[in-house]
Amino acid sequence: MKSISVAQRAQQGPQAGPLKIHGLTSSIYWVEGGVGNCGFIVGEKGVIVIDTTISPAGGQELLINIARITPKPVTAVILTHGDFDHVGGLPAFSTGLTIIAQENTRKNMEAAIAAGRRMISADHLPNRVVAKDWEAVEIEGVKLEFLHWAPAHMAGDLVIYLPDQKIVFTGDIFTMDQFRALIHREQKGSSGGWIMSAKGVVALNADRFVVGHGDVQTWDSLQKRIGEVEVEREKIKELVARGMSLRQIQAAVGDPPPGQSKPGPGGPRFTPFSEVVYQEFTEKNP
């Protein structure tokens, strides 16, 4: 395992840690740090980057680290989804690259730019969209499969599968730093879609899973997470049918855990899974 650290920089919002580059194979790397995970693949003539960290400074650090491993240029960027901690580094990359994303991610990024919510210009928008649920491609001599089952974490989730190496980049469909599945309902994410997508991920013939947040996972660890999410979702559905309030339901299922009901240090930054599911089954704000 090869590890390279760079100095930590302060960021707005979640604190970005130093980047650490881990070799999964001689040509495939998992990048830890920068808030969310990303990765890159050294191909025949160029490098394929999967997600870009949270900021232009983080993106530049990523490029510096790639250059320490290979002199080959970055020729393609693949986005697993549109959260800023995964696309915020795009301005550090050259224009004219192939930037690949699921079609809903491009739509969300366009809308965000129009609303002035992003520091990404139009020349860093995805220029190759994945509109199918499954697409097999070869980029820089590397066989890849792009998969999208349903809106899960958000509407535009894209899973990247390397069948020859049995490695999957899941994006934020799996966020192991959260108590349960992280779903952005305001971005059309869905708990039912999450279960469908998560089961699709573990059905792939793979043995290493680079998740959006957390260490590289095994099939067993992801299967355990799916089971926990399914059980909680069914329990919430049952308790909603019995007329229980959100707070009563959260106390019954233990989500969020004690002491983590408010955003801030040590607590979740996002809407708890229990609240998302409650909203889905009641179609109203609690």
pLDDT in tens, 172-203: 999 999 999 999 999 999 999 999 999 999 99
Contacts (Cβ under 8 Å, ≥6 apart) of 283: none
Task: Return the pLDDT at 2.
Answer: 36
Q: Which residue has the higher pLDDT, 17 or 266?
A: 17
CB 169 within 8 A of CB 52: no
DSSP 159: E
Beta partners for 145? Answer: 136, 161
Burial class (CB in 10 A: 0-12, 13-18, 19+), 121: exposed
Helix pair 273-282, 191-202: axis angle to 10 deg = 120
Q: Where does 20-219 sit in CATH, by number?
A: 3.60.15.10
**Residue 94: pLDDT band with limits 50, 70, 90:** very high
Tokens of 172: 């934020």
In whole angstroms, what is the distance from residue 50 CA to residue 19 CA? 14
Residue pointed to by tokens 């130093």: 18
DSSP 94: P
Per-domain residue ranges of the chain: 20-219
Determine the number of helices (DSSP H) and then strands (DSSP E) in the chain: 7, 12
Q: Is the pLDDT of residue 18 over 70?
A: yes
Mean pLDDT rounded to a whole number for the chain = 90
Cα separations in angstroms, 158 against 43, 67, 82 = 20, 26, 10
Task: Return the pLDDT at 250.
Answer: 97
In 3-state terms, the chain is what percent helix, strand and coil (to 5)?
A: 30, 20, 45
**Residue 207: pLDDT band with limits 50, 70, 90:** very high
Residue pointed to by tokens 């491009």: 106
Q: What's the pLDDT tens digit per position in 106-162?
A: 999 999 888 887 668 888 999 999 999 999 999 999 999 999 999 999 999 999 999
DSSP 220: H
